Amino acid sequence: MTWCQLFSEPGAGSDLAGLATKATRTEGGWRITGQKIWTTAAQFSDWGALLARTDPSAPKHNGITYFLLDMKSEGVQVKPLRELTGGAMFNTVFIDDVFVPDDCVLGEVNRGWEVSRNTLTAERVSIGSSEAPFLANLDEFVGFLRDGQFDQVAQNRGGQLIAEGHAAKVLNMRSTLLTLAGGDAMPSAAISKLLSMRTAQGYAEFAVSTFGTDAAIGDPEELAGKWGQYLLASRATTIYGGTSEVQLNIIAERLLGLPRDP
């Protein structure tokens, strides 16, 4: 079974609690209407985890409910978004008066924000693993270095990236174990996501700099073109799952005790 995450909206990205998708009570459940965007793999998903506003009069974090949405429901329409790589990993999802039964509410009504924090933490831990098929990973980068000839400056940079990659893996394991133990892994997951994505970008930038224009015009099935695709795909990593600025704010406020960003 494949799931997608129906959180972000055209007007609610980094400020997710500003979402406008609404759910209205009806007999036996809810009627949901709204639009979600940047939904990964929505076109392949069986179910979606959806946030909708159920109490518009409540403070924005308090009037949200977490729903489980059958993606095959009448009124759900998925439209792919063509991206920099030429692919369509992300989608816009239109939800037009879709019925969701009461037993598809996860947690308490109007307290979905608390549940969503667990989902967001798990998402950042997952992203921090850097094992997505469209991104370069540590083992692949090490293999690339072993097969090439590099000067001392490049060797030093490659070694730095490998060290950062191992550090990111350790941080991600720590966040995973903390999550499984029922702890608050959000701050450590923010660090893990931030470092892992910067490292994945670093791998691709390093490789593309050695291939030059071949990376831009090469066949994605060949080595140079593949690393060019990795570079293009890596640009989105500092945006999805919470921008780098959001992660830095979490670290500053939750770990360093600094004042909230105004």
Q: Is residue 206 part of a domain?
A: yes
Domain count, the chain: 2
Instruction: Tell me: do 131 and 231 sit in the same domain.
Output: yes
pLDDT, residue 175, reads 86
Backbone angles phi, psi at 56, to 5 degrees: -65, -15
The parent domain of residue 139 ranges over 115-256
For position 84, which CATH number holds? Answer: 2.40.110.10
Coil, strand, or helix at residue 232? helix
Contact assessment for residue 233 and residue 135, using Cβ atoms and an 8 Å cutoff: yes
Instruction: Tell me: do 134 and 233 sit in the same domain.
Output: yes
With 0-12 / 13-18 / 19 or more C-beta atoms within 10 angstroms meaning exposed / middle / buried, residue 29 is middle
Integer Cα distance of 118 and 61 in angstroms: 15
Q: Is residue 262 part of a domain?
A: no
Q: Which of 57, 76, 108 is the last residue of a domain?
A: 108
Backbone angles phi, psi at 104, to 5 degrees: -105, 20
Q: Known catalytic residue: 245?
A: no
pLDDT in tens, the chain (262 residues): 999 999 999 998 888 999 999 999 999 999 999 999 999 999 999 999 999 999 999 998 999 999 999 999 999 999 999 888 888 889 999 999 999 999 999 999 999 999 998 888 888 777 766 566 678 888 999 999 988 888 899 999 999 999 999 998 898 888 888 888 888 888 888 888 888 889 999 999 999 998 888 888 778 778 888 889 889 888 888 888 888 898 899 899 988 899 987 6
Backbone angles phi, psi at 10, to 5 degrees: -55, -35
Q: Helix/strand/coil (H, E, C) string of 142-169?
A: HHHHHHCCCCHHHHHHHHHHHHHHHHHH
Instruction: Tell me: do 14 and 137 sit in the same domain.
Output: no
Coil, strand, or helix at residue 54? coil
Q: Is residue 168 part of a domain?
A: yes
Integer Cα distance of 23 and 74 in angstroms: 16
- The 3-state DSSP composition of the chain as helix, strand, coil percent (nearest 5) reads 45, 20, 30
Instruction: Tell me: do 124 and 46 sit in the same domain.
Output: no
Instruction: Tell me: do 179 and 143 sit in the same domain.
Output: yes
Of the residues 27, 83, 123, 164, which is catalytic? Answer: 123
Closest CA to 37 of 91, 85, 75: 91
Distances (CA, A) of 146 to 108, 120, 149, 155: 53, 36, 8, 11
Distances (CA, A) of 176 to 39, 167, 170, 196, 259: 23, 14, 10, 14, 27
Instruction: Tell me: do 60 and 44 sit in the same domain.
Output: yes
Instruction: Tell me: do 185 and 158 sit in the same domain.
Output: yes
Long-range own/partner contacts, residues 214-221 (CB < 8 A, 24 or more apart): none
Closest CA to 174 of 186, 159, 162: 186
Coil, strand, or helix at residue 93? strand
With 0-12 / 13-18 / 19 or more C-beta atoms within 10 angstroms meaning exposed / middle / buried, residue 98 is buried
pLDDT, residue 131, reads 64
Q: Which of 108, 134, 166 is the last residue of a domain?
A: 108
pLDDT, residue 13, reads 81
For position 223, which CATH number holds? Answer: 1.20.140.10
